[in-house]
Structure 1
Amino acid sequence: MHELTYADIEAAATRIDGRTRPVALAPTEPGAFGTPGSAQAWLALEYLQHTGSFKARGARNFLAAHREAGTLPGAGVTIASGGNAGLACAWAARQQGVRATVFLPTTAPPVKVAKLRSYGAEVRLVGTEYAEALAACAEHSAASGALASHAYDHPLIAAGAGTLLGEIRERLAGLDTVIVSVGGGGLFAGVATAAREHGVRVVAVEPEGSRALHAAIEAGRPVDVPVASVAADSLGARITSRTALAAAQHDGVQSVLVPDSAIVAARQALWDDRRIAVEHAAATALAALTHGVYRADAGERVAVVLCGANTDPGDLGAGSDVG
């Protein structure tokens, strides 16, 4: 596997320029969401991206790079996904005028399945976990000749995701720390690679019940982990990528875990305080602050990546102040 470099992220930024939406940042008040004293957090609203998540960056970069290289087959592209990577792949495939076949576990949220079909993708539901959908996707690729993409474990995918960090720095001078939720590790690997270039700290946040990166750091190698979390539809990878593990082993990276209760509370707080409806995976990053597993220093400037909003907001509002 090609080692991810900052040059890869710069190339990705050129490929996706004008094709993806630049991230917007929303400041919060000092002391909001658990930030102490003069520290301040900004919310990086990446859920406003095409297809509702950061995944559009990697998908666009992946297919554009294959188009440039002449390696985009007539059989199109195929991917296994918890939902968001499939959405992004289908969107990018439609841009490139090729077919997309997306494999999802049967537990995928119906809102994601419906959106996939609206992009013209063929959807195949297999098994109850991402790993089962991934195996079926590999079989389909071998039989059909379709180009196999990956939800997170590919340098072009991670490089595309890493373009987010540069856009945050453009909008937030003096950025000290970026907080990202972690599933398989594509977003984290890309952001951490870019952050290392600029001396920005990275906090990698996972649910206690879905801790592929955390377990890999402890073991010194990627290992299989059980998956049981409210955020498992997006953060449900059973094993992290070697690229993500390599990024986590550099200085300036901190890996933390949050319980499901904190994820649910952070998601509700975003709705109650900001009328922001995100998926549990996005709230996982914020839960690092609200649950206190990451405590910002005085004067620290922190960006919290709200990575996706492909969710059913019907369970929000119970704590709302409606008048």
Structure 2
Amino acid sequence: MQWKQDIGAAETRIRQYVQRTPILDTIGFGLKQPIMLKLEHMQHTGSFKARGAFNTLLGGTVPDAGLVAASGGNHGAAVAYAAKQMGFRARVYVPEMAGQAKIALIRACGADLEVVPGAYANALEKAQSYEQQTGAMQVHAYDAPATVIGQGTCFVEWDSQGLEADTILIAVGGGGLIAGAMAWYGGSKKIVAVEPETCSALHSALEAGAPVDVEVSGVAANALGARRIGNICYELAQGHSDAVTPLTVSDAAITKAQKLLWRERRLLVEPAGATALAALTSGAYQPEAGERVAVLLCGGNGANDPLEALNDAA
């Protein structure tokens, strides 16, 4: 595929439908050097996922049966939002582990929602069955070219905002976002693929020499809890192995980074959104002297609405 050309075209295609999210040059978090943050948790519905959803809808023909998606939470909200904006109906399957805040967000965005027992893989089985029965258009969370191309637009935008980093740290779940980064940069930047120790689908695949099923648990499982890495992500990681560094971080490191983002910069993110930064704050990734580092904050949908008590009082 001509990834770079397709991603550039997609950025133009979806530009009017997505937020141009801010960047922040900052120093702190106990680090010795400044870093650049991309605040993609400020995207529509609180994550980068809107990019892939809009690109899929705008690049294809939606059947009368509408859309179907499986999600750990963020993707489902993005598909529901994009579908509503464009006048399509959407059915979304999420696992119970998505949590009440993300489930409520998907409902608020207008999707026909079904909560299923288990993890993301169980929701995907339901979505695939619905697709076969109805002819609905499947909007895959991470392992489809249109999704990967849409997520890659984040990096086109970031470059236009003056990104000069040598290295970008990105959290990995099923691999759609980091696949978009690898496809756009094509090995020209170092990409650090950061996964929780308890959800390490990419790391496990690279060790095994092929995508394999992994156990999924931990604080970021409802966003990064893919049981198996996407084939597109795996193939791109294999093709750019010299430029991709996989590593894992603990749940404790993730929650510490989450707290640091709030306490030092008043940035409220979910655990997945803090996972990439956790590689720096925990010392799992140690930049070389003079290395310019950037971190993508990918999601802001925490377990609870921080203003829920105020809403109840009102």
State the TM-score, normalized to the length of structure 1. Answer: 0.91
Distance in 2 (alpha carbons) for counterparts of 1:314 and 1:64? 31
Q: What is the aligned partner in structure 1 of residue 191 from structure 2?
A: 202
| 1:219 corresponds to 2:217 | no
- 1:173-252 maps to which residues of 2 (within 5 A)? 173-196=163-186, 199-249=188-238, 250=240, 251-252=242-243
| 1:143 corresponds to 2:123 | no
- TM-fit CA distance, 1:172: 2.8
Residue type at the aligned position of 2:208: A
Q: What is the aligned partner in structure 2 of residue 96 from structure 1?
A: 86
Match of 1:271 among 262, 269, 275: 262
Q: What is the aligned partner in structure 2 of residue 14 from structure 1?
A: 12
- TM-fit CA distance, 1:33: 3.1
> What secondary structure does 2:254 align onto?
helix
1:278-315 residue CA offsets vs partner (Å, 9 max, x unmatched): 01001111001001111112222211100010113579
Q: What is the aligned partner in structure 2 of residue 82 from structure 1?
A: 72
Residue type at the aligned position of 1:138: Q
1:200-229 residue CA offsets vs partner (Å, 9 max, x unmatched): 111100000110000111111110000111
Residue type at the aligned position of 1:82: G
Distance in 2 (alpha carbons) for counterparts of 1:5 and 1:110? 36
- TM-fit CA distance, 1:4: 6.7
Distance in 2 (alpha carbons) for counterparts of 1:203 and 1:84? 22
Residue type at the aligned position of 2:7: I
Sequence identity of aligned pairs in percent? 46
Aligned residues: 305
Answer whether contact 2:152 2:183 (CA < 8 A) is retained: yes
User: Cα RMSD over matched residues?
Assistant: 1.6
Answer whether contact 2:101 2:304 (CA < 8 A) is retained: no
Gaps of 5+ in 1: 316-323
Q: What is the aligned partner in structure 2 of residue 117 from structure 1?
A: 107
Residue type at the aligned position of 1:33: F
Gaps of 5+ in 2: 307-314
Q: What is the aligned partner in structure 2 of residue 294 from structure 1?
A: 285
State the TM-score, normalized to the length of structure 2. Answer: 0.93
- TM-fit CA distance, 1:195: 2.1
Distance in 1 (alpha carbons) for counterparts of 2:263 and 2:29? 12
C-alpha change, 1:314 and 1:84, in structure 2 (3 Å) is: closer
* Deviation larger for 40-49 or 296-305: 296-305
Runs of 4+ displaced beyond 6 Å: none
> What secondary structure does 2:97 align onto?
coil
